[in-house]
Structure 1
């Protein structure tokens, strides 16, 4: 057994085996995989093996698509049949809202090249007469997926990995990880059978690995403790039953008919597929408990939990309704096993926070579907530096250190039961909320705030009626213009015509100072650094030249900087900044880095009357001139006093109106809020939420990180050359220039349906040709129609180009407009007073 390797993969389920295979296929010839038991002995062995394309995530859809295509090639390469039954996947809808969900998803699938078709109830019944259809609205059908044998596909990948030189060692458990500064020393213990249990022996070895990947499945909490990090990957019970033969099904097949597709009755929270003349029923029910919150017992191997039939009785009866012929079929077998989840249902794939060359592949609720694609794209990240798609939505650092075991367990239970609950783009799930709140939360709630959750932090989405029963306005959700839409319209109009107050406390904030700060930031970011007292928008790139982070940099002093970035990406930005400083400090000199996110609150005030409101509160010898262009020009900062509150005021507005960000000591937030609300009353100031702000920033073509900005496009492709100083050397510059311009970001005004706006997941067409996709969408109060931003081929990124947007399975007219269609010369934002 080797003790020095290039890469060590810990975990021998479908995910770990795929990673080992793809690392070898990508050219790494010294890869080892450790499995504490037998291959597939974790959740892989009891997985139902379904391969659903359906996913609202762009990255995850690509991962699933790769897996499905890859699994079809394994037999030719390895000689092993992976047991792939390409029977298709039929997602049925009992309601119009469910059909709206499928149409939104279908447009997302289209952007990834995933084939699909819509079917009517009559078409379903004609093709599969055993299915009851009179209460259906229709269905979405993926003809190219189906189900696979989890053990067989894992063994096929393992054989392929061995053929490519991967060493697979079973019955070895990773018990400790130690970073030497150059490599990982992994202590592995030989596991032995004892009384039916698997126990550690006295035999240990230390394996030195340049890179380590953990794919430990149900053991993720044990892995996290050994690494000293937090991971919200905790299993939840998942039940499915296998039924005896259905005589009608046996006859149907004997008559020469093909196998039924996987039947997904989402409104009944269940899936059904054929199994040897009978049926398998799997459910995603309410009340399934999280398990192994603090680790898997040593006695638990390829084991199951007791079946809880009462918990799935409703879904069982719904299956009999959908496939009446199964009513007389008895129960043949049952499974209730642990399936790992995360709070948002997406796995944790990418670099571990705070650690060098440690990679995570944990928290897979659809592990068989995702295994192939995860191995492919993670290998790209490890070998080439970045994947060809933006993997940020799966990055482990989308969750910060504030995550606790209790939070993860409860949110994972919620995520499980939401698998088949309508996936509204504007949904806000309730579990574990409110948890992280600013001081003004209660005041905002009392004013009608309906909150969204950003990195666990409560942030007003919009302000509804004061008699709303609580902070979670379920009736407001929709795939079209929900109940919140009109409130957001009024808020957006208030900013354009008067003045609005927005809570932006969730922003990520860092202080960078010290003798090496200036040289470091000049290397780390793309734009010129601002002069003292000024601000700049800038970007940090990946090593591959794509956009890693967006920053607003405020220069407080010669070597003292205040960095503001997206609140949703706090730990993600913190980790990248920290690792870059550690890499360059010896070269540039001492660099002090402070995370001051929770020390400073932020209110944004914007609109033509914003200066009037602030003038009511400014304390100065000549208060009428404090906020003038002469004393406080656009893109500058000043320390001012508003009443008794010291404020770091930044003259910038994400809405594109005259405005300021008011960064203030968090302990004074309630005082400042009360002062602003009182001062704004006579000027008609309106409280404004994040949804209106999102619309307003699109009218200004302001790109947002996580939508227009990400690791699959450069700032040049995002059409932001004014924030890239090519006269200096910066991290990722050469790679960025080598990429060129593959696609280009544009803003479009859209003549869409009169009851809906795009969500930023839709495909763009030029005639019959798909030419791009939207990344953001919404409504424009300035133009009275839908608006969106997205990427198209460079030849189409010309104002006046006519395109189409796919919404609700129809193509709607859209026009590429000039950048910043509202106030393109920035005259409003520079308004003097």
Structure 2
């Protein structure tokens, strides 16, 4: 083991396909002193038994871009390294057995077109031609992706490892990382021991990458970071050789939780069953290497029964292999990538949820670029490890949630679908009050949030569909109350970050695009920008005193936004603290909001005393609160910040006072439908780190005349050249159809982009979508002079386009 260095630029922990991909891409960028350590043999964890399905289409444009890159990489690896990857573009077919699933796969096909993926909706007759062994009797629809493929998982990983070695990377097997030394927020080195225990040592390093797969949680703890994932049992069978069986497309039958792959004249049948079996609650055995788990035929039998009906030849074929092996799953079915929020030099690429082979090439490329530049190369919000909150590393939580997440891969991906397991972890102070009033809860980042309110006698549950769901009219009534009278909803889950210290003003002026040199009580809407003027966070900042500000963030991005600030503190004398749990927040919104507040507080809520964009301390009932006059729904209103211990009293006081006014309790679905009518951007959908703040139509929130701030030069440059894209609001001509996101935008007959967020505009009377349209060198009038359509499930629907909010374009309602 003397070949192990004493020092390295980076140590990669784990030699599965993703660890090998990270090593490959770092060395390809010219990095030297790259060391990969694998506890046993390369691929011996989960990579070796992966099914090797390689699909292009993922849930978002950038995840699709990464999957397409993986395909292209695997196609070229064999020539580069001489290692056969078994990669072949055999295509894939997905069939739907229900009308709901048909809508899902047809919407996915439309999305594929927007992302530049070749796709075709095909008839049952065509399915039968391409898959003559298939029973198509109850097939309702099918989609074919000709460039999907399959490959040999272990050899793909070995080819990546060889590519890394050819460029000077050191890949060492049978070396287990046993610990890490830390100095503050950095890991300074890793301790290792050889597999036989005969040697041990320490490698100093500048960075660590956790690619430890199902050991990722444990290695995360070693490095002082939270990597929530859990291993589950994953089953497949391989038949004996079947006479005359030749190359076939990969087949997915998600309604039967099954996938099929022809391999060397045999058929592989795998399953993502609805209730899975978590594994290794007490830890993964130290000896684990190319191990199989015990067979559980009873668990797999329902899948096999359906499969024998779907593909009758399976009933005649003998089973050559019944395989059960572990795979790691994350709480939300998206993998973990990026710089861990708890440390400043620990990176993560783990938790690939059974799609590691198709993801690893692109994920390794993206992470290597991120490590090189110190900034995300493009939006990776779907998989950024900073979306995970600390509690999600809890073992019992992971055990309960992992029972569900494996099955969600092939479950119906209905809009607004809520997780069923591991619920009730984070509750706002109003939780029981809301339930008493008929709240139907959704979950985000562990927070239980009222999404809508059921009527008396109505089932308090989601009944999912791609059409109007059972809560559509409930949310419409809540929307109407906020537009025409007064509504109240719970915003306590939104992140609250206190920034205080003598340099608080200067620090926030550096981090934020807007000017923070404002009087006490002023509320400023602003963004955190990166060096490219991309949007890293979308927040409001309230000045509470000379040295204290409150930054309010979306619930899911609180940790990421706090981490962004902490990493830019530098020499500024400030303290950044999460105070989310300290205050509950009730939003009181609507034209009669001022009247309601007057009934419960002696304070003055007039424009003279409390104009839009200011906060004041108030009495509320017998307690105290802070009233912020801001809105995310486009109406007159206040967000009331109440000390947690007074929250119950505040709710009861407001609710009782509102009874003779028709006060309506509202949920998050209402908030989203109102904000999209007003053209307010949704962070993570409409605005991300790769969307320039000028292109996003948020130039008004950036004050370029103040001293240096992050992204200033890029803002100035884009102001000079004009936007390359414009955020456009669309209204469908057909009032029955619904928009969610990723539907293609068609301008003068050509696909030019996709809907970044969609919802129904109950006041505007149709589905509303937002999305970017390329406009380099164009004036606003040129953009609006075109004809627009939106592709909804394969049908082009005419849409009205606007650059100004279609609802209250001059914002007169919020300032009355």
Aligned counterpart, 2:231: 235
Question: In 2, are the aligned partners of 1:799 and 1:815 still within 8 Å (CA)?
Answer: no
Aligned to 2:712: 733
Question: Where does residue 29 of structure 2 map in the other structure?
Answer: 26
The match for 1:141 among 140, 144, 155 is 144
Structure 1 residue aligned with 2:108, among 100, 105, 110? 105
What are the equivalent positions in structure 2 for 1:480-629 lying under 5 Å apart? 480-529=467-516, 530-581=518-569, 584=570, 586=571, 588=572, 590-620=573-603, 626-629=604-607
Structure 2 CA distance for partners of 1:503 and 1:682, relative to 1, 3 Å: same
Question: Partners in 2 of 1:658 and 1:429 — Cα distance?
Answer: 34
Residue by residue, what CA displacement relative to the aligned partner does 1:398-417 show, whole Å, maximum 9, x if unpaired? 12112211111211221112
Structure 1 residue corresponding to 2:629, chosen from 651, 655, 662: 651
Q: Which residue of 2 aligns with 1:256?
A: none
Q: Cα distance, 1:646 vs. partner?
A: 0.7
Q: What is the alpha-carbon distance in structure 1 between the residues aligned to residue 55 and residue 560 of structure 2?
A: 29
Map Cα deviations across residues 687-735 of structure 1 (whole Å, 9 max, x no partner): 1111111111112211121111211112112111111111121012234
Distance, in Å, in 1 between the alignment partners of 2:740 and 2:427 is: 27
For 2:748, which of 762, 767, 786 is the aligned residue? 767
Contact 1:553 1:561 in 2 (8 A): yes
Match of 2:290 among 297, 302, 323: 302
Cα distance in 1, alignment partners of residues 291 and 797 from structure 2: 52
- 1:414 paired with 2:404, answer yes
Aligned to 2:395: 405
Question: Cα 1:574–1:119, aligned 2, differ >3 Å: closer, same or farther?
Answer: same
Deviation at 1:754, TM superposition (A): 4.3
Change (3 A) 1:372 1:219: same
CA distance in 2, matches of 1:745, 1:690: 27
Cα-to-partner distance string for 1:630-667 (whole Å, 9 max, x where unaligned): 11111100001111121110001111100000011122
* In structure 2, distance between residues paired with 1:645 and 1:806: 52
SS in 1 for 2:427: coil
1:592 shift after superposition: 2.2
Q: Residues 182, 556 of structure 1: CA spacing in aligned structure 2 closer, same or farther, 3 A cutoff?
A: closer
1:4 aligns with 2:26: no
Q: 1:322 to 1:427 in 2, by over 3 A?
A: same
| C-alpha distance in structure 2 between counterparts of 1:411 and 1:752, whole Å | 41
- Note the alpha carbon deviations across 1:656-686, whole angstroms, 9 max, x for none: 1000000111222221111111111111111
Find out whether 1:671 has 2:676 as its counterpart: no
Q: Which runs of 5+ in 2 are unaligned?
A: none
User: What CA deviation, in whole Å up to 9, does each residue of 1:289-347 have, x standing for no partner?
Assistant: 21234532112221011111111111101111111122111110121111010011111
Measure the CA separation in 1 of the matches of 2:732 and 2:447.
35
Q: 2 CA distance for matches of 1:766 and 1:818? A: 15
| Deviation for aligned residue 1:168 | 0.9
Residue 504 of structure 1 contacts residue 603 of structure 1 at CA under 8 Å; is this kept in 2? yes
Q: Does the aligned pair in 2 maintain the 1:175–1:186 contact within 8 Å?
A: no
Work out the CA distance in 1 between the residues paired with 2:581 and 2:733: 41
User: Quick check: 1:374 aligned with 2:363?
Assistant: yes
Does the aligned pair in 2 maintain the 1:555–1:562 contact within 8 Å? Answer: yes
Report the secondary structure of 2:745's partner residue: strand
Contact 2:733 2:800 in 1 (8 A): no
2:808 corresponding residue in structure 1: 823
Aligned to 2:620: 642
Contact 2:439 2:451 in 1 (8 A): yes
**Of 165, 169, 178, which residue of structure 2 is paired with 1:166?**
169
8 Å contact kept, 1:89–1:143:
yes
Q: Confirm or deny: 8 A CA contact 1:93 1:138 kept in the other structure.
A: yes
**TM-score scaled by structure 1?**
0.94
Does the aligned pair in 2 maintain the 1:749–1:785 contact within 8 Å? no
* C-alpha separation in 2, matches of 1:93 and 1:407: 33
Greater CA drift, 743-752 or 540-549: 743-752
Judging changes above 3 Å, is the alpha-carbon distance between structure 1 residues 426 and 182 closer, same or farther for their aligned structure 2 residues? closer
- How far the C-alpha of 1:176 sits from its partner, in A, is 1.7
Q: Which residue of 2 aligns with 1:623?
A: none
Which of 51, 56, 59 is the aligned partner of 1:56?
59
Question: Are the structure 2 counterparts of residues 11 and 737 from structure 1 closer, same or farther at C-alpha, using a change threshold of 3 Å?
Answer: farther
Query: 3-state SS of the aligned residue for 1:805?
Result: strand
Alpha-carbon distance between aligned partners in 1 of 2:340 and 2:534, rounded to the nearest angstrom: 20
Q: 3-state SS of the aligned residue for 1:826?
A: coil
Equivalent position of 1:263 in the other structure:
251
**Deviations, residues 424-480 of structure 1 (Å, cap 9, x unaligned):** 12111211112211122122122221111121101111112233454xx231x2222
2: distance between equivalents of 1:813 and 1:745? 19
**Stretches of structure 1 lacking an aligned partner (at least 5 in a row):** 194-200, 254-258, 621-625
Counterpart residue number, 1:205: 201
Q: Which secondary structure does the structure 2 equivalent of 1:85 belong to?
A: coil
Determine helix, strand or coil for the equivalent of 1:478: coil
TM-fit CA distance, 1:44: 0.4
Question: Relative to structure 1, is the Cα distance of residues 452 and 59 closer, same or farther in structure 2, using a 3 angstrom cutoff?
Answer: farther
The 1:58/1:236 distance shift into structure 2, 3 A limit, reads farther
2:436 match = 446
Q: Does 2:373 align with 1:384?
A: yes
Once the two structures are superposed, residues 561-593 of structure 1 have per-residue CA deviations (whole angstroms, 9 ceiling, x without a partner) of 111111111221222222222xx2x2x3x2122
- Whether the aligned pair in 1 keeps the contact of 2:175 and 2:195 (CA below 8 Å) is no
Cα separation, 1, equivalents of 2:593 and 2:189: 59
Tell me whether 5-14 or 626-635 shows the greater mean CA deviation: 5-14
For 2:286 and 2:636, the matched residues in 1 are separated by 62
CA RMSD, aligned part only? 1.8
- Runs ≥4 residues deviating over 3 A: 179-185, 735-743, 752-755, 795-801
Confirm whether residue 701 of structure 1 aligns to residue 689 of structure 2: no
Q: How many residues are paired up?
A: 803
Mark the CA change 1:72 to 1:569 in structure 2 (over 3 Å): closer, same or farther: same
Cα distance, 1:467–1:53 mapped onto 2, change above 3 Å: farther
Change (3 A) 1:409 1:111: farther
Which position in structure 2 is the counterpart of 1:191? 194
Counterpart for residue 689 of structure 2: 711
Cα pair distance change 1:517/1:290, threshold 3 Å: same
Structure 2 CA distance for partners of 1:310 and 1:743, relative to 1, 3 Å: farther
What does residue range 281-430 of structure 1 map to in structure 2 within 5 Å?
281-365=269-353, 366-403=355-392, 404-430=394-420
Aligned counterparts of 1:741 and 1:20: Cα–Cα separation in 2:
39
Residues 583-611 of structure 1, C-alpha deviation per residue, up to 9 Å, x if partnerless? Answer: x2x2x3x2122211011111111111111
Matched, 1:779 2:760: yes
Q: CA deviation at 1:229?
A: 2.6
Query: Helix, strand or coil: the match of 1:748?
Result: strand
2:772 to 785, 791, 800: 791
Structure 1 residues 604, 679: CA separation in 2 closer, same or farther (over 3 Å shift)? Answer: same
Q: CA deviation at 1:79?
A: 2.1
**Does structure 1 conserve the Cα–Cα contact (< 8 Å) formed by 2:226 and 2:340?**
no
Q: 5 Å matches for 1:674-685?
A: 674-685=652-663
Alpha carbons 2:257, 2:274 under 8 Å: kept: no
Change (3 A) 1:246 1:358: same
**CA deviation after TM superposition for structure 1 residue 35, in Å:** 1.1
